[in-house]
């Protein structure tokens, strides 16, 4: 039995990009840091919340690259002159990626109590009915 990919199935014409998005999502880093929540705030509104305690706004960047939301964090090393007897608070960089569906856009981002909130909105899809005229050869 051969494995058939989504893009090669005869009933799914033009879905090659969806297959590439699924592959890219499967390859994304799943190390669990930083932890995050995804909420649906309405029929066309979503919120991604990341726990970024210890990060300042200047340490974070949010970009959208080819329908992929990428959130990066990098803290500055200001440990010179400090002597730690125990260091249990993570001070590492991270990158979190989320694949966005067609029509989903970043509405805004805000920091609150060590949490980074990224709000997303989805445009209402247009309902289009198209009639195709049949011509004779």
Sign of CA dihedral 132, 8, 19, 44: positive
Please work out, in degrees rounded to the nearest 5, the angle formed at the alpha carbon of residue 69 by the alpha carbons of 6 and 9: 5
Assign domain 32-122 to a CATH class: mainly beta
Which long-range contacts link 119-122 to residues 24+ away (Cβ below 8 Å)?
119/41, 119/45, 119/46, 119/47, 120/45, 120/46, 120/47, 120/48, 120/69, 121/44, 121/45, 121/46, 122/44, 122/45, 122/46
pLDDT tens, residue by residue, 77-115? 776 788 889 988 767 899 999 989 889 999 999 999 999
Place of tokens 């445009």: 123
Give the start-to-end residue ranges of the domains of the chain.
32-122
Residues of the chain where predicted confidence (pLDDT) is lower than 70: 1-9, 18, 21, 24-30, 79, 90
Residues β-bridged to residue 69: 64, 98
Note the Cα 84 to chain centre separation in Å.
35
Does the model's pTM come out above 0.75? no
Place of tokens 């199935």: 9
């Amino acid at each position: 039995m051969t494995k058939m990919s989504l893009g090669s199935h005869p009933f799914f014409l033009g879905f090659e990009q969806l297959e590439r998005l699924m592959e890219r999502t499967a390859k994304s880093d799943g190390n669990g840091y930083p932890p995050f929540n995804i909420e649906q705030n309405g029929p066309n509104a979503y919120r991604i919340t990341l726990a970024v305690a210890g990060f300042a706004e200047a340490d974070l960047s949010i970009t959208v690259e080819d329908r992929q939301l990428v959130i990066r964090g990098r803290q500055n090393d200001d440990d010179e002159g400090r002597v730690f007897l125990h260091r249990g608070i993570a001070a590492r960089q991270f990158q979190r990626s989320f694949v966005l569906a067609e029509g989903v856009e970043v509405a805004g981002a805000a920091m609150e109590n060590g949490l980074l909130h990224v709000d997303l909105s989805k445009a209402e899809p247009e309902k289009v009915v198209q009639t195709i005229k049949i011509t004779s050869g």
